[in-house]
Amino acid sequence: MSAALQSPFAAGIAALARDDPAAAVPLLRAALASGEGGAYAELNLGMALTALAQFHAAEPHLRHALLALPELPEPGMRLGVIAAMRGDSTEARACYEAVLRRHPQHVPALAGLAALAEKAGALDQAAALLARARAAEPDEPELDFAAARLAFAAEDAALAATLAEAVLHRRPLHVAAAQLLARALLRCHPEAAALALLDRHAAAAPLAPAWALAQGFACAELGQLEPAIAAFQLADTLAPDNPDILGEFGRLLAQQDRPDEALDALLPALAARPANLDFRNLAATLMWRRHRYAEMVAMLQAGIAEFGPHPTLNLNLALVLNAQGRQQEALDAADAAIAQAPGNIAALVNRIAVLPYHETQGTAAVLAAAAADIAAALPVATPLPAAPRKPKPRLRLGLLSGGFGIHPVGWLTLAGLEALPEDRFELTAYSLKPRRDALNARFRARAARWHEVSERDDATLAALIRADEIDILIDMGGYGDTGRPFVLTHRPAAVQLKWVGSQFCTSGLPGVDYMLTDRWETPAGFEPHYSERLLRLPDGYVCYLPPSYAPAVSPLPALRNGHVTFGCFNNLAKLTPTVLRLWARLLRDLPDARLVIRTHALSDPGTLALTRDRFAAAGLPLDRMDLHGGCPHTEMLAGYNAIDIALDPFPYTGGLTVCEALYMGVPVVTLAGDSFAGRHALSHLSNVGLPDWVATDAAGYLAGAHAAAADLPALAAVRATLRQRTLASPLCDAPRFGANLGSALEAAWAAA
Amino acid sequence: MSGQTQGAQQVVTERLMAKAHLLLESRRPAEALPLLDRLHHLAEVPAPAREARAIALLAMGRFGDAIGAAGEALDALPGSAALLQIRGRAHLAMGHDIEALDDAAAAVMADSASNDAKGLMAEALMKVGKPDEAIFLAWRVAQALPDDMQAHLRLAQAFIMAGRHVAAEELLAMLEARAPRLGQPVALRAQNKLLMNDAAEAERMTRAALDRGLAEASVHSILAHALVAQSRLPEAGVHFRAAARLAPHDAYLAHLASASEGGTPERASDAYVASVFDGYAGRFEAELLSLGYRVPGLIRLAVERWLAETGQSAIPGPVLDLGCGTGLVGVALLGLTEAGLCGVDISRNMITQTRAKGIYTELHQAEFSAALASIETRFALVAAADLFCYFGDLTEPLQAAAARLADAGVMMFSVELAPEASGWHLGDSGRYRHSLAYVNSALRDAGLSAVSIAPEPLRQNAGDWVGGLFVIARRLVC
């Protein structure tokens, strides 16, 4: 019968039968409204909503069905599934047991209970439950799969492999069985033999997706990302549009830094499997990388609404809210994650990552307390035995970072590292993110050894560093995106220090001996805010490498425009309500002045709209503002040719952004705080001889901006020489920086 | 198989093929290959799948497999210009220059309009030492593809090989201006300047490129060579090391980087020596002669004395020339090798040059010890001119050479002279040097006794004579 001729209830049931719950929902709602189907309409609507991960909406229908149809196991079973999805094992168990009291042989309830027992580590209990289920339904492959899982957990890999393989013969698209088969084979055979077994299966059935899946999982287990992706590419071609394959494929593509393709795979997977929390978090992090912030917020908030305040959802939510400039909401989300999982290291790191942007909480003292919280929660790592001090012709420096390339770490450290004398320092790079760009080539050219280590855990990475006999390990990742500061707690090197790379406050970690800094970032008296000793370089703590492709500096735009144009090219996370209100006042005071904001987050339409609202609410005149999204670096630098004066945000001040503005001839008005992040601009401006552009309070900031805007000839004069001045200053003097850095490192080594 | 099953298989096969093509177009051959492998396992392999598989293997650098796959595809589709090109390119990458030239020529014959085929043939012609013919083809391709950088770079390379440095400079200057963010044109241009003996200009060009952010192995390497040419070895070391780090699989750069740091591997790698001489073969003789290279002459002189002492008119048995290069020792011994002259060299381009002379009765392109293990002849004379500068420890090479001497046979070889206390060491130039005491002890360990060891200047380097030892030795009689 065609759908058009079916009743809404029948059509809804048919939609559910063809695994299309989204189509079923309106039909079943219509049926319910018209009284058709009665409690069965409630039940099926609840089931359809559950499949769409709309748990809150599903629950009332399932509960009505439970009351109305007490003889049916399905409503209770579904409520149990929802509880299990939310991680509420107690509630799930209660639901399943209730079902079993009326239907002692109900196979899904038995399997559900077995899964809960397995999760709790009660393998015997799980096996007994599965045996009951199998007695009731001996031919169900899912029970074989559950048994395979149990065998694997009980370390009987051979049995697990046999059972998983049997499942795959009957269900060639059983992705989880393929994964288990791969793991089990690798457990009971040498690598090559395990792969050869799968190759034989594949050769015998070349068009069966199961073996491609197992090959893909096996390669992924072995850390062979490229062949793993190739195998999934094959599986996806053999069985297109399978959500489980797409989801796993997306996960691998994300690992290989192919975010667009990963999203292309993951979004349909998530649409078909909305209850898969893993897919949701992964898709969210990919949206983060593509600056699709508004969609990411919606996806995470929907997840929290249905699954509850899951810590990972909240962690990701905190990051994206911060990126949109919603610092308070971000901190609330970060705190919610900690409340949900007290002592969770990821949640504590997440909090310290958003904290320095907050207008009242981003202080050195608060950050030091947050760092101390991390250190206190950290399991005690067994430090490697003290390394013998062998005489070597050169000091061995280990650099640990995901930023060896076109990245702030690259622009702010490369020139200085290149200038370290080769006859005194041998460099080894521990790269936490594979990169291939012009700056990365220069890092590679300077480093005697290069290790890509993102796949290693902290302990094995520390062991590698120790095996390389590194004398001084420099952490250049910190609590940032790819950072791995906890490696230092294993004490792989005799001297360990923190330098550029999310260097916004103390690490708080016991393994970090020094913070590489300068007298502006951390003047005398700042020691209490740092667990590290402060290793102050005589000039600045960084050495800026200007890009060779930077356009020439233009004459002062105000002279041709007839009005002053302020600009800020920092990210939105730094634009706090206080900053916005201060800028609003400045623009009120200077009614002809304009303000240009340029940052990649504004490429996201949702974030742009939100930002416009925030700006308007702060009193900023949108008609005198230009909001630009991301653009290529050369174009971004050229954008300074339309700016007269750069306005720095606070408390998290500009770092690389300040260097770029100065190199493009644009002086920067800043307000120095007391955190490391709050004093970047102070350090850079002091090093180029413009300390008078640094304010210590909001009034001074306003006054500085006013004064600069009022004297265009003076501003034009500064602009005319600022590039040369910057180049000649310690900020860009690589030989001088290299000599200073070398001496500081040797002093630290001598003192160890 | 039922019709329905066949139909379903057909759909999947087409999907695999379409996806594989898409992946190849997106330059993801490693991802295309498993799809093509699956098609390859089917009872009836679709013809396009065979070709696509060969393409994927070639793009992945699996040249031997690509040759096999292209050959298999050619069996099904004989004379296919595309397949001939794939196989030819794989042959070229593996150093099978003659086979590459054959396939390239056949591809051009099969599709005379194909610029790719002509380009391949030009590259093969360069490899077999025919740069003038290469220029003709490379020029035609560059004319047809005015925006193709690789086509123009190929033409420039052919100009350089043919010694037409001015034409190369003109072309490369244009290419560098066209693509200032590309390393290849500037590296090749600077190399051309080096060959024109303008090391200072080569240095200026490469330093400017580094300042522009072109941190490429080729740029560092040419800069290092330019500095070596100006006798600024410590400065060169920094750039040899940078080049080696950027091209970690390049044995040539690894050896020079190691030498610049005072590293002491026991011998230069085969890949290094082959690479040096493959690149050098075309101008080897002219350069050595211009540098006053004396070792072949020293061998001739020693042989004449030996023959005079024994009253013979020719060497009393076959001669083995180890590291024969372009055959200069053979030339020096003309008229004295009546019982045969066997040459061994690791560089195929050197062997090609030697073969062209028609002096040697037997030639082996192989690593020195592998060749000696495969040769059963006992020789009246084993000569090794300028060979042992690629070995640190001489014991094993001398033992292997001594094993091939006839009972009354003579060995003649040169080494670069190290200070007496140093035994042997790797010099900045990438060549090993040996002290007199060390040579004496190595001879003893190898079962040889010195007939004479004479200090001799070997050749000039940057205007100075390189000091060496010329050694004549016989097997110890037990």
pLDDT digits (tens, 9 = 90+) for A143-157: 999 999 999 999 999
Q: What is the pLDDT of residues A676-711, one digit of tens each?
A: 999 999 999 999 999 999 999 999 999 999 999 999
Chain A, nearest residue to B210 by Cα: A442
**Contacts with A231 from chain B: Cβ below 8 Å:** 34
Q: Is residue A75 part of a domain?
A: no
- Regarding whether A570 and A500 lie in a shared domain, the answer is no
Touching B: A residues 124-143, CB under 8 Å: none
- Whole-number average pLDDT of chain A: 95
Q: Select from A202, A233, A445 the Cβ nearest to the Cβ of B23.
A: A233
List of residues 6+ apart from A500 with CB closer than 8 A: A408, A409, A412, A413, A476, A541, A542
What is the CATH topology of the domain spanning B274-475? Rossmann fold (3.40.50)
**Contacts with A228 from chain B: Cβ below 8 Å:** none
Rounded CA-CA distance A484/A54 in Å is: 37
pLDDT at B263 over 70: no
Chain centroid to Cα A185, Å, comes to 32
DSSP secondary structure code for residue B240 in this structure: H
Question: pLDDT above 90 covers what percent of chain A?
Answer: 90
- Regarding whether A713 and A576 lie in a shared domain, the answer is yes
- Regarding whether A624 and A490 lie in a shared domain, the answer is no
Q: What is the pLDDT of residues A635-666, one digit of tens each?
A: 999 999 999 999 999 999 999 999 999 999 99
Mean of pLDDT values over B213-219: 92
Q: Select from B34, B215, B242 the Cβ nearest to the Cβ of A231.
A: B34
**Considering only CB atoms, which residues of chain B are within 8 Å of chain A?**
9, 12-13, 15-16, 19, 23, 30-31, 33-35, 38-39, 41-42, 211-216, 220, 238, 241-243, 245-246, 248
| Yes or no, beta carbons of B31 and A230 under 8 Å apart | yes
Q: Is residue A473 part of a domain?
A: yes
Distance from CA of B209 to the nearest CA of A (A): 11
**Contact between A452 and A434 (Cβ < 8 Å):** yes
Inform me whether the C-beta atom of residue A240 falls under 8 Å from chain B C-beta atoms. Answer: yes
| Yes or no, beta carbons of B212 and A548 under 8 Å apart | yes
- Regarding whether A631 and A715 lie in a shared domain, the answer is yes
The closest alpha carbon to B356, from B417, B279, B282, belongs to B282
Q: What is the pLDDT of residues A179-193, one digit of tens each?
A: 999 999 999 999 999
| Yes or no, beta carbons of B216 and A441 under 8 Å apart | yes
Q: Select from A206, A230, A444 the Cβ nearest to the Cβ of B42.
A: A206
The residue type found at A110 is L
The closest alpha carbon to A488, from A377, A384, A394, belongs to A384
Rounded CA-CA distance A284/A293 in Å is: 9
Distance from CA of B246 to the nearest CA of A (A): 6
| Yes or no, beta carbons of B30 and A226 under 8 Å apart | yes
pLDDT at A632 over 70: yes
Rounded CA-CA distance A480/A401 in Å is: 10
Q: Is residue A95 part of a domain?
A: no
Rounded CA-CA distance B299/B315 in Å is: 12
Question: Lowest mean pLDDT: which of B57-61, B251-255, B300-304?
Answer: B251-255
The residue type found at A48 is A
Look at residue A1 in the predicted model and tell me its pLDDT.
46
Q: Select from A234, A446, A547 the Cβ nearest to the Cβ of B35.
A: A234
The closest alpha carbon to A643, from A656, A618, A655, A626, belongs to A626
Task: Output A229 or B161, whichever has higher pLDDT.
Answer: A229
Q: Please count the structural domains in chain A.
A: 3
Mutation target to probe the A interface, by most A beta carbons within 10 A, among B12, B33, B181 is B12
What CATH number corresponds to the domain at position A453?
3.40.50.11380
Domain span holding position A339: 291-363
Inform me whether the C-beta atom of residue A206 falls under 8 Å from chain B C-beta atoms. Answer: yes
**Contact between B465 and B293 (Cβ < 8 Å):** no
Query: Which is the CATH superfamily of the domain at B163-263?
Result: Tetratricopeptide repeat domain (1.25.40.10)
CA dihedral A409, A412, A416, A417 (to 10 degrees): 10
Distance from CA of B210 to the nearest CA of A (A): 9
| Yes or no, beta carbons of B12 and A238 under 8 Å apart | yes
Mean of pLDDT values over B108-122: 96
Distance from CA of A194 to the nearest CA of B (A): 17
Mean of pLDDT values over B182-199: 92
- Regarding whether A561 and A532 lie in a shared domain, the answer is no
Q: Is the peptide bond before A70 cis (omega within 30 degrees of 0)?
A: no
- Regarding whether A645 and A566 lie in a shared domain, the answer is yes
**Contact between B21 and B33 (Cβ < 8 Å):** no
Going from N- to C-terminal start, the domains of chain B cover: 163-263, 274-475
Three-state SS sequence of B192-230: HHHHCCCHHHHHHHHHHHHHCCCCCHHHHHHHHHHHHHC
Phi, psi (5° rounding) for residue A672? -85, 135
| Yes or no, beta carbons of B30 and A234 under 8 Å apart | no
Domain's final residue, options A537, A570, A594: A537
- Regarding whether A713 and A594 lie in a shared domain, the answer is yes
Chain B, nearest residue to A200 by Cα: B41
Rounded CA-CA distance A584/A591 in Å is: 11
Q: Is residue A552 part of a domain?
A: no
Task: Output B372 or A400, whichever has higher pLDDT.
Answer: A400
Inform me whether the C-beta atom of residue A227 falls under 8 Å from chain B C-beta atoms. Answer: yes
Question: Lowest mean pLDDT: which of A443-457, A467-481, B38-52, B247-261?
Answer: B247-261
Q: What is the pLDDT of residues A713-732, one digit of tens each?
A: 999 999 999 999 999 999 99
Distance from CA of A423 to the nearest CA of B (A): 10
- Regarding whether A678 and A637 lie in a shared domain, the answer is yes
Q: What value of ipTM does the predicted structure carry? A: 0.82
Distance from CA of A437 to the nearest CA of B (A): 10
Q: Is residue A479 part of a domain?
A: yes
Sheet holding B341-345, edge to edge: B362-365, B341-345, B319-322, B379-384, B405-416, B464-475, B448-461
B455: exposed, middle or buried (Cβ count in 10 Å: 0-12, 13-18, 19+)? exposed
| Yes or no, beta carbons of A207 and B31 under 8 Å apart | no
Q: What is the pLDDT of residues A288-334, one digit of tens each?
A: 999 999 999 999 999 999 888 888 999 999 999 999 999 999 999 99
CA contacts within 13 A on the Cβ side of B478 = 2
| Rounded-to-5 percentages of helix, strand, coil across chain A | 60, 10, 30
Distance from CA of A207 to the nearest CA of B (A): 7
Mutation target to probe the A interface, by most A beta carbons within 10 A, among B245, B253, B258 is B245
- Regarding whether A651 and A621 lie in a shared domain, the answer is yes
Q: Is residue A563 part of a domain?
A: yes
